[in-house]
Structure 1
Amino acid sequence: MEKIKKMSNILIYDVAAESGGALSVLNEFYQKAKNDLNNKYFIVVSIVNFEETENIKILKYPWVKKTWFHRLFMDIFFIKRVIKKYRIDEILSLQNHCINGIKVKQSVYVHNAIPFCEHRFKLIHDPFLWFYQNIIGLITKKSLKKADGIIVQNEWMKNAIIRMQHINPNIVHVLPIKINLTHEIERIKTDKTRFFYPATAFAFKNHKVIIDAVKALSSEEKAKIEVVFTIFGNENKLSRLIKKEIEEYKLPIQLVGTLDFSNMKEYYKSSYLLFPSYVETVGLPLIEAQYFNAPIIAADLEYARCSVGNYKNALFFNYNDSEHLLKKMKQIE
């Protein structure tokens, strides 16, 4: 008689997720768990809401978000109680690193590129990102040595982890981001040449290189273009500095704030996508823009080359060279 396989108790750990890409990833694994009726799932979250099902129990701990101390207490001590209480057989951590000090099979979903990116942050200029890259990054990298399986979003992350950590390639698996879009070939014409950069106001998003390129244009050239940033200009110190510089030099750059996807779609169809960010895992707009036949000018970095793939309507520039960017912007007009 064939032996019946025992149902496993699988824990999905992601107290960090609350919005954006991280929440999308968690939701994707939640949907997979719903369809796997051969196992019991325990999903550990902080403040997000998911419906419990016959095979899914939601373990919600909102106190994790109070302070970093609470988060550390969860990661180092409390989660071990949860694992013991629910007799967990297998763990999937969506937080870039393993849970230490337990003897349970673990897989890790790695979606933070900072420890593996080509750009190296300097302590004097970017203390937080330097700390994340060098201290948290070291913890992440050491943790991956203990993982039974590693999941990444694309080939460049897989190659970076294997190269840097000498990980067995057989345990690193690529799970691409799902894009629910259809191709639209028709473009929208505009009076001026429009460049679009959908990104939040963080230093590594590199708005500065675009601003410097636009500043180098002549008055006549400035009158023929418009650049669109998806920031408000008041959300943090950097965004306020960006707004101030735009106003001071009277640059043809619009700050339109956060956009829903219907508006994003219109900009993709009517613009050239600029993407100078020097820290990304995927750079989702690089993939989305291709569905709308948008020309792309991107940082010449591994993540961008990987996301652009064989798309023919793309140019690359040295991410810290505004003159090189300007040359590419003029090249496609």
Structure 2
Amino acid sequence: MKQKTIVISGINMVEGGIFTILDNCLQKISVFSEKEKIKIIALVNDKSKFNYPNIEYIEFPRSKKSWFLRLYYEYLYFNTLSKKIKPDAWLSLHDISPNVVAKKRFVYCHHPTIFFKPTIKDWKFNFKIGLFSRLYKYLYRINIRKNEAVFVQQHWIKKEFENLFKLKNVVVTIPENVVEKKSVEIQLDSNKIHFFYPSFPRSFKNFEVIAEAVKLLPDSIKNKIEIHLTFSENDNNYSKYLVRKYNLNVFNFTGKISRAEVFGYYNKMDCLLFPSKIETWGLPITEAKGFDKPILLANLPYAKESIGEYKKVSFFDVENPNELAKLITSFVNNTIQYQGNKAIFEAKNQLQDWNSVFDFILKN
């Protein structure tokens, strides 16, 4: 049987949730290749970040330098590269359907901003968020019909894509919760109740609702809690604004931390906060659920689909800090009555893990 070649492209996936997607994918396909006769070529920004066997890495260290370079790689250089590699399958993990030659082409779409209506604040602190909310609709459209399948993370996005791009080959692919094997021991004050929100400082992540909720808390509650946020003042203009406006005693600005440290916090924290206004999944939700931790969650469709069947969750309006303040208070006082959540989609209508995705790609 002829060995099949699969290219996995993730040259722009360097941090946060999108890096986790790439890292998890490569970790799982490395193991998958031990049983299947396949050759794997991974296109990445920095190959030193990966150490998974059975994978040939091609590095593109300049891919984040500018959008001009990104588009050059996707629509020009990759065409030449694909003719040289002659892959059986090409999987683009970061939204864009490149101009490549392959027997089968697939794209994994996870950029949420085409469904986001930016405010003046969003334009002010991150012009790209506003721009991408307009631009990505057109970037998604280029070559999208040339794919064998378009992978998305949730059912509500599947419906949006089917309507927006008139597609019939959209496949829901649930992000697999690949637990970090290495976990750093985190030391937290045992006299405090610890909340955690691991997220890069982008305006749609909605840190303000947490800060405004804290301002509403009585001192008797404030003195009992610590909220850990994974950024520092100097990360970007938005983080400077947040730290200077809301430098409250309850906040611990950790700065950027490793995946192993994130999992260390999951292990030690008391409760996850997740108030983001838009996500195509929200990996911390799944990860905290894996640790069986309580979660206070945005009352939005993405969040309910991400959490699935779970008892220890309650929801709040992302524009209403008073609702969140009440939930924090009841959690601290140990009087909280969780709303809970039920799964609304059947597993048979979706791919459940990376192995299912690889089987789907390589079939026939």
Aligned to 1:209: 209
Change (3 A) 1:6 1:23: closer
Q: Which residue of 2 aligns with 1:130?
A: 130
Per the alignment, do residues 29 and 131 of structure 1 end up closer, same or farther by CA in structure 2, a change over 3 Å counting?
farther
Q: Measured at CA, do residues 142 and 85 of structure 1 come closer, stay the same or move farther in structure 2, by a change above 3 Å?
A: closer
1:15 counterpart residue number: 11
* AA partner of residue 136 (structure 1): Y
Match of residue 288 from structure 2? 289
Counterpart among 252, 255, 258 of residue 253 in structure 2: 255
1:245 aligns with 2:245: yes
Once the two structures are superposed, residues 27-48 of structure 1 have per-residue CA deviations (whole angstroms, 9 ceiling, x without a partner) of 2364166336534443333432
What's the counterpart of residue 113 of structure 1?
112
SS in 1 for 2:246: helix
Where does residue 272 of structure 2 map in the other structure?
A: 273
Shift, 1:215, TM fit: 1.1
Whole-angstrom CA distance in 2 between matches of 1:16 and 1:157: 22
TM-score by length of 1: 0.81
Distance change >3 Å, CA 21–CA 252, structure 1 → 2 = same
Output the CA distance in 2 between the equivalents of 1:291 and 1:26. Answer: 18
Distance 1:246 1:200 in 2: 16
Query: How many angstroms apart in 1 are the aligned matches of 2:122 and 2:60?
Result: 35
In 1, Cα distance between equivalents of 2:121 and 2:240:
21
In structure 2, how many angstroms separate the alpha carbons of the residues matched to 1:178 and 1:263?
14
CA deviation vs aligned residue, 1:203-231 (integer Å, no higher than 9, x gap):
11111111111112233443333322222
- Corresponding residue of 2:161: 161
Q: Quick one: distance in 1 between partners of 2:71 and 2:162? A: 28
Q: Which residue of 1 aligns with 2:317?
A: 318
2:46 corresponds to: 47
Q: 1:268 to 1:306 in 2, by over 3 A?
A: farther
Q: State the alpha-carbon separation in 2 of the partners of residues 66 and 270 from structure 1.
A: 36
Question: Could you say which residue in structure 2 is the equivalent of 1:185?
Answer: none
CA distance, structure 1, for counterparts of residue 80 and residue 286 of structure 2 = 41
TM-score (normalised: structure 2): 0.75
Output the CA distance in 2 between the equivalents of 1:74 and 1:83: 11
Task: Give the percent of matched residue pairs that are identical in Structure 1 and Structure 2.
Answer: 27
State how far apart, in whole Å, the 1-side matches of 2:34 and 2:120 are.
46
- 2:77 aligned with 1:81, yes or no? no
Q: Which amino acid aligns with 2:295?
A: I
Asked which structure has the greater CA Rg, the reply is 1
1:269·1:293 contact (CA, 8 Å) conserved in 2? no
2:302 — aligned with what?
A: 303
Q: Specify the SS of the correspondent of 1:35.
A: coil
Please, which runs of 5 or more residues in structure 1 have no aligned partner? 183-187
Residue 232 of structure 1, CA deviation? 2.4
- CA distance, structure 2, for counterparts of residue 251 and residue 237 of structure 1: 21
Deviation at 1:87, TM superposition (A): 2.7
Q: Give yes or no for contact 1:151–1:175 (8 Å, CA) kept in 2.
A: no
Check the 8 A contact 2:10/2:22 in 1, yes or no: no
28-37 or 135-144: bigger deviation = 28-37
Higher relative CO (Cα under 8 Å, sequence separation at least 6) belongs to 2
Contact 1:189–1:270 (CA<8 Å) still a contact in 2?
Answer: no
Distance 1:45 1:200, change over 3 A: closer
2:326 alignment counterpart: 327
- Tell me whether 55-64 or 65-74 shows the greater mean CA deviation: 55-64
Counterparts of 1:307 and 1:329, CA distance in 2? 21
CA RMSD of aligned residues (A): 3.2
- Between the aligned partners of 1:52 and 1:329, the Cα distance in structure 2 is 41
- SS of the equivalent of 1:323 reads helix
